[in-house]
Structure 1
Amino acid sequence: MKKLRIGVVGLGDISRVYLNNLKKYSDFVTIDACASRSLEKAQKKAAEFGIPHAYACAEDLIEQADVDLILNLTTPDAHYRLNKLALTCGKHVYTEKPLAFTYAEGKELVDLAQSKHLRIGCAPDTFLGARLQTCRDILDSGKIGEIIGASAFVIYHGCETFHPNPAFYYHTGAGPLMDIGPYYVTALLSLLGPVQACCAMSKRTFDQRPIATEPHRGEMIDVEVDTYTTGLMQFASGAIGTAIFSFDVWDSNLPRIEIYGTKGTLCLPDIDPLDGPNIFGGDIWLRTEENYRWYSQPRDWFDVKKDWEHVPLTRPFASTSHSENSRGIGLIDMVLALAENRPERASGRMALHSLEMMEKMLSGAKTQQFGILETTFDRPQPLSADFPVR
């Protein structure tokens, strides 16, 4: 197959894991150019990773570099503009989430890609990791029966407690639903398929929040977004989903995701909210009618877990690290999809569906109305056994 030439725009912290992983797939892709907000930074990164060309701004790379695909790792406020420019210039796009700030912008991008016969893919691709792909195998096998419902919990006390520059998380376009939520929403969509309708209740608990980390300790952040959202999802399959997305909760023992079937329950039991579907590996607990028992006495949570079956991961890409993981396998899958003339798994259509649903949750919380989704997508196929592992 023909190698695809990649241009990377945005060279922040997340770029390192992408660049390291893409180098492992040099038989499929080459990284031919990179761009940052400063030419010096781009040149330094280019020298470190052996990238031939460095540009002082993303626009120059997109318009001038002889590449086939743009990997967009810039800040979310630039995603729509740069993704649109790349498609207009005839280049495929794989972007970090979000696809765009708004559903209208995202729809424009997906429609533009289709009209120009280009591919647009979007992170997160953690649903292609070992844990969620093993969950998919269990669901598809019928082991927990017909899916009744699911729950997801993104609850902790905000990024100002650990992040050195947390202000962005409270600005328009972010917040717990739009920033961390896509990992959880994408996980549910990849397992259960599209959503038909959704609704939510939402609130902004604090107008300002103090930063607890250096170098901005004590500075106040103006909060522009709701920080506690409870949502309901009606899946096209008939399953019902419940989710909480909050930066206002001090602690919780809730699991990150659970899937409920007529014959059993699947659980992602992580205590850390930045684990869950944010990582590629992790534990899976399974409870079925075969190992169910009723407790007549009070029980401790950490005793309960002994009665669950701990499911071994049967798929590749099982890292539980946030700094060294498999980010980018969604891009590699898109490159292979182009060569094989099939749909990519981390698709723009699934990302658009996710974006529409989250936007309708927030708008519906203000109007106290259900949102009926206009978009749909085909549930991505499980990662094939012959997918190249590096």
Structure 2
Amino acid sequence: MINKKLYISILIILFSFFSVKSQTRKQLEAQRIKLNKEIKQVNSLLFKEQKKEKNALEELKDLNKKIEVRERLIATINLEANALSKEIRVNENELEKLKKELKKLKEDYASMILKSYKSKSQQSRIMFLLSSQDFYQAYKRLEYMKQYTSYRKKQGEGIAKQAKVVEKLNDSLLYQKQVKDTLILFQKNQKQEIEDDKKNQERLISLIKKKGSKYKRDLQKKVAEEKKVTASIDKLIRDEIAKANKVTKTKLKTTPKTVKKNEFVLTPEAKALAASFEQNKGKLPWPVREGIVVRRFGTQPHPSFPGITINGTGLHIVTASGSTANAIFKGTVLNVLVSKEGRKNVLIQHGNYISSYNNLESVYVKKGDRVGTGQKIGQIFTDKVSNKTTLIFVLFKNTTRLNPASWILRR
């Protein structure tokens, strides 16, 4: 006979097991897909184009990035495979338990049907009714017979449902084993790829060591130049804030007492815009359609040369050739700066925030223009030697630099 409570409890266990476990595995699967996409982007954006002039440091930096992403991918595959192995073991135990339960249910049902057949023939049913003492007892006996027939029917249906649960779990188990086999094969291929990359890495490190002093001098010179450019941009931004404040003070006809030096004087509209910008922290769109971050924000060791420290003023994002920089939020073009090499830097004001889009070849906006979220503001410069298209994306609150990665969407 079917134990109804046991059947319901089995379904609840199965449901809770699949929802919790699959959620964990779905997160790992999503992470694996994301990392696999990132590997493809690295190959496409950093290795697809042949560099006209090879630079061992630049090659090593790109290779390190690929190895780092691939190692994260392998680690994720391991976690996903382990999660699948645990799932399979639990499912195998559960399947065995369900099969035993189903066998017992079928045996009980068969025994009940046999007894019913022997004891409840058509003639005995009629005699059972006719032997009633009165009409009310006969009616009750008839109802009992109907209920008993209905109960047997439900038992049969219950067994059919239980069989489907077993079949579904069995199919799920086979699928999980196929997924695990595919993951293991994929992991094996990734390990081979990383071994090849590490051989190239060793070759480049050896080459850099031979010309260490030259590379070090070149790097130190580049770092010093970047500091000068950063200081120049900082001064320009302070000047732009001062200019903007003159206009705002004229409009307001009074100077707020709380405003400090090198901070924007805000109109009520600008305050509302700044508040809206802050509310969208972590949800702002990327300044490029697709791309990979090759330099993070903040002070960090050089990725290819030990002993050299670099400072990331924002995010260095490599994207596809011909790509445009897009505004991350609505605002007003504060200014368009031009470097001595002819590269453009568009500064967009969002209340007391500024988003900076540097290393542009051409721009589509001018000072004073109002721009919308996602609007194209310029084409990003492609280096003719390295064939890389890199946007330098910087974010300020007044004159203080912020980490843009904390403000834009995670990819």
Whether TM-score is above 0.5 comes out as no
Structure 2 length normalisation: TM-score? 0.21
Structure 1 length normalisation: TM-score? 0.22
**More contact order relative to length (CA 8 Å, sep ≥ 6):** 1
> Who wins on radius of gyration, i.e. which is larger?
2
Structure number with the higher strand fraction is: 1
Structure number with the higher helix fraction is: 2
